[in-house]
Amino acid sequence: MSIKRYSVAVAGATGAVGNEMISILEEREFPVTEIKLLASDRSEGKKLEFGGKDITVTKTDSNSFNGIDIALFSAGADRSKEFASLAVKAGAIVIDNSSAFRMAPEVPLVVPEVNPHAIARHKGIIANPNCSTIQMVVALKPIHDAVRIKRIVVSTYQSVSGTGKEAIEELSQETRDIFNCREVKCQVYPHQIAFNCLPQIDTFEENRYTKEEMKMVNETRKILEDDTIAITATAVRVPVFYGHSESVNIETEKKLTADEARELLSNASGVKVVDNIDALEYPLAVKAASKDEVFVGRIREDESIEKGLNLWIVSDNIRKGAALNAIQIAEILIGV
């Protein structure tokens, strides 16, 4: 019997995440009959390779999704709000990478290692969480199941690729400008990112947290299906190209020793423990880049409280944080 194949659209195909989606569909041999690569009019006519063929990028419009089975969106929240419901009306299932629908009660917010069961209740749209949230919940879910997490205190060290291609270019351009004693021009970020750390990701909200910080709070509770977890986040942009790192402190209801946590995480799906301090081994963004796993290390007991742990969690934000997670959702949808 031949396997069923699907027509797939990638909206935002020319962006950092869209590009990675195309590679991952190829790498994992997703059963594609036809692929449609969509972007804005800026990219119309551009050619991208898929399965050894050149595919022409077309402009996203209301007819783009006719005949599409699965639409992967990563063109920003405004485009998702404009086109996702049209895609659903045209008969597609939308897996949306933007923040547009994540907190909508009727939209499942899914990390396959954590809450794959939520996919079944979709009504056409499935949301892919924020990159910093995804890697954190993959590592924390097994601990939450074992000893219940009461409180999370997280600080992130996020790479520029999360912002997209222009930000990747801005970090390299600023670095070259500084080495050449030229004036630094900030276009994407409000301040110099080269050789600097910016305690602002996305815009500020009324409570003085940033949107990125509040996404981590609200999305984590939705994915772990537990509104009682206390969470506080500080999200920081660092001059790294690929891979987000996170310092995570948790307080648990029952005691979990560092050894027990290492054991638990060694058997967790999607997680790789890298925690050999004698060999100076711990997760690093440069090593996590282009990999699929969520890397966890520096696992140790928080000696300031009775039942607490510290962890260092690193993953490729464009892969597990975005494109890979979306395609894993698609794989569950089609039952592979």
Active-site residue set: 131, 244
Q: Which is nearer to ligand 25A, 40 or 310 (CB)?
A: 40
Whether 307 contacts 151, CB under 8 Å:
no
| Residue 11 Cβ vs ligand 25A, minimum distance, rounded to whole Å | 6
Q: Pick what 43 binds: ligand 25A, ligand L14, none; C-beta below 5 to 8 Å, kind-dependent.
A: ligand 25A
Residue 163 engages ligand L14 in binding (rule: CB under 6 A): yes
Q: Which residues bind ligand 25A (CB under 6 A)?
A: 11-18, 39-40, 42-43, 60, 74-77, 79, 97-99, 131, 162, 164-166, 321-322
Q: Pick what 283 binds: ligand 25A, ligand L14, none; C-beta below 5 to 8 Å, kind-dependent.
A: none
Q: Pick what 158 binds: ligand L14, ligand 25A, none; C-beta below 5 to 8 Å, kind-dependent.
A: ligand L14
Q: Which is nearer to ligand L14, 58 or 80 (CB)?
A: 80
Residues 206-265 that bind ligand L14 (CB under 6 A): 212, 215
Whether 14 contacts 48, CB under 8 Å:
yes
Looking from the CA of 54 toward its CB, the CA atoms found within 13 Å total 4
Fill in the DSSP letter of residue 204: B
Could you tell me the two tokens for 129? 């969480």
The edge-to-edge listing of strands for the beta sheet with 125-127 is: 58-59, 32-39, 6-11, 70-73, 93-96, 125-127
Residue 315 engages ligand L14 in binding (rule: CB under 6 A): no
Q: Which is nearer to ligand 25A, 36 or 250 (CB)?
A: 36
Residue 202 engages ligand L14 in binding (rule: CB under 6 A): yes
**Cα 263 from Cα 148, distance rounded (Å):** 17
Beta carbons within 10 angstroms of residue 149's beta carbon: 24
**Cα 212 from Cα 223, distance rounded (Å):** 16
Q: Which is nearer to ligand 25A, 74 or 252 (CB)?
A: 74
